[in-house]
Structure 1
Amino acid sequence: MEKVQATLEEILTRFTAMDTSVKTVSEEVTSLRKQVEEFGDEMDHIKHRVHDTGKSTPSSSSALHQETTPPPADKGHGVPLLANNHPPLLGTPQQQPSGFHTAPSSPHEQDVRPTLHAQPDQEEYRPRQPRHDFPRFHGEMPLLWIDQCLTYFEMYRVPVHHWVSTATLYLDGLAAMWFQAYKRLHRRLTWDEFTGAVVTEFGHDEYDVQMTKLQQLRQTTSVNEYKAQFEECMYHLLSLDPTMSTRWFVSQFVFGLRDELRGPVRFQAPTSVTRAAALAKIQEEEVEHIRPRNRPAAPTKHPPQPVAGVVHRPALGRTELPHRQGNDDFNRERQIRDFRRANGLCFKCGDKYSKEHQCKRSGQLLTIEVGEFGEVLSDDAVVALDLLEETTIPATCYHLSVHALTGTEALETVRIRALVGNQVMLLLIDSGSTHTFVNKSFAERAGCTIQSVPTVLVKVANGQILSSDAQVQGLQWWTQGSTFVTYMRVLELGAYDAILGMDWLEQFSPMLCHWRQKTLTFNYLGKSITLQGVLSKPQESLQEMSVEQLNKWISGNEVWSMAMIDPIQQTTKSVPNIVQSDMQSLLEEYHDVFYQPTTLPPHRVLDHSISLEPGAHPTNSRPCRYSPLQKDEIERQVSEMLDRGVIQTSMSPFA
């Protein structure tokens, strides 16, 4: 026990000594910090003095000698000592080593004070860097964040072995949670391994997302806002792939402009996005000038001052009406005008509009005089007059070739197989159609997002008029190794799932088309691609297939038409139907059984009837709507049953 107690006392003594040493070291560190701060202040002071003396050049060698002599130490400042009375680890400004010199702050000092230059093997004095926050990473745009990290490391001279640990301290949100799980499986990461993992996790689809966003971008506001959104996507893509073609960006920018701006800008053939945006802005201003504006209200005409002895009678027809009535009348006129335009009617007279249409002439009111001094028109009345003075603009009408509707193939068309998700899509590239359309049934099958838009008329080459009131903003489809994103109008088509019209062909012009071999060659995303159309195959013999295979093709939209084929049977010589004599006599005996009944069946013990509850009321429901074929069949059957007496005319509400 005595040995144990002695050992414990020895351990306690050692701990006490260690505690004393730790306190001593802490005091020394505190003193050292103060010395470093004083050293920094003295360095700043020396720098300012050197800068001030550099401005005033000495006039003599004595002045130069006096200038180069270091100033005496202040009496109030002694040599600082540590807590243990040891000399400081760093020399104070008054006790700098003989080899320490400050770097010149101006070229002038290099000429007059050569003795202050630093030694060749020492680094020059560098001013303090401004404080900058380290960039934080939330999981978006990893390449930009990595570039900012490298800039920070270079500016503050962070050692390479501290790069990963420094960067991981500034991961937030999803990025921080990902790295917490990632570092459990990967220890001692290098900077290249760390950045590669970050790009793989958060930047694998960055290019595709930005490309899709750029291709779906359309102008909905002003040109400046559209240009800002477009350039944001463009510069993001260029940072990922600097080899992208400038011509492609220009054509995509022009394609996203509004209809009234796209044509004039394309006619000018701009060579850069900045040039195209400037032309679009000029055209936008011209369109704004052409549009009718509200006329300013006429200045109020003040009546003349009354003359003494003359009594003026009040003006007739100056009864003030509520302001609400003018607004209601104007809104009603605008609604009627919009409805007539949407349905292809003349918004003035309401008749069917055509190029040869002329409104029926009605009586004209030439002059209106209200009161003694006239009446000042309200703003609503002025706007209504402007609407009446507008020239009639025909409704927008698209065109569709007859091949696209009937499902046939012509020389100037190319059929292409594509994929939308897991659905096979049959595309028809048709130069006879003005716009691009997608079949409504296919859009619903593929799960596309359908948006409602103003109705447009689609005129088919055979004279038929169709209407389209929906669109798919950006339909992404893949074919032959290339992915496209196309704006399509929704329309009820025939055999084809989608039609690529002239708007799609113009977007990728110029292109080389070989209509006989069914190939199209054009530049896409900076490289030349060739699309091979479906070639007509010779008629092959039919082969049997299983039901499972047929269901698989139907679910993948690979069956575009079905037909029922009956086998051709060889005609044989007809043999007269000889009925046995006993059977024939039986049929003749009961021939009345096979007659078509023309009257009600005879009364029986239990006759069919529908008994109503006392006080029952008939239901109030809208009449059923049938197609013309169903309506004709119902009327035919009702007429026959009335003639046979099976039913009778009834005025009951329950009939």
Structure 2
Amino acid sequence: MAEGTRFRVLDEHVQSLEQHLHELATGSNKRFEELHLKIEAMMAEEQSHYEALCKDSATTTKKLEQLMEVILNHQQLSSSKDTAGSITQERRILPTPNNSIREDNSSYQLHSRPSQQLPLPRLEFPHFNGDNPKNWVRRYEKYYEIFGIKEQQKLEVAVMHMGPKVDTWFHGYVTERGVMSWEIFAQDVCKRFDSDGLRNVVEEFNKLTQQRTVEDYQEQFEYLRSRLLQTASQFAPEYFLSSFLSGLKEELRSAVKMMYPRSLTQAFEIARLQEQNMAAMLKKSRIWIKNPGSATLSNSSKEAKKLSKIFHWEKKSDIAP
């Protein structure tokens, strides 16, 4: 009789354990489904946020382009109305721009109100120390155009803004060549200080990859691209687009390529938005995993870690065992 009682007690205990295990399994599955639904909701919210950012960015870009066009047209009109002052015989060499305002019937209007004449900004004369001579010549000629420097005075003004290395070369150059025009000097100075510039720029451009943020990478990329475009070599737009995409970080590269950017401008914008999107998802995922509510994640920590790899999370999430 005692033996039958023990068997019955054991049987009831086994049934109780089975029921308890069944409840644990059911609860674990339910918590995993809740986790899956929350992640899907979070992804949908981020996608909506990304689309809104794209729309706002496109609108802002269009407005900035329109504003820049109005400002450039206004400055061109102002330059045509102003007359350049004469060069003084004292310390000043460059003429002071005439800031007088003359209104006529063809003045520009912005938002249905007549705009005021914008004075020319204070511009620093470009100093040349031997680096990037083609860019220096381009800025020099633009400066001459704005301030109305005469052709025969261009070289005289340029001499006063040369670094020691360039100044030493220039004195030997003048002694050997004598008097020459600005055009000839510009060609010779580019040949002298940019003999191996193209090779170095191409090598640096091909090695360029993203190390920090997309903005830092874009600045370096645009600088080297500008140096390449100043040379006589021909580079197709597709070459620059492919180079920019290949230099992105691995976790960003695939996401940007999936959007099929057709130009560098689109690639720049998409890369920045994807970087912001991934940073926001990473921040939200860490907060949610650390404080998921009343439910525990003891039985689904492995699944959460797998999901973190899918979304390219850079660091392992802190999940309590």
Would you tell me which structure has more helix in proportion to its own residues?
2
Structure with bigger RCO (C-alpha 8 Å, 6+ apart): 2
Structure 2-normalised TM-score?
Answer: 0.50
Greater gyration radius: 1
TM-score (norm 1): 0.26
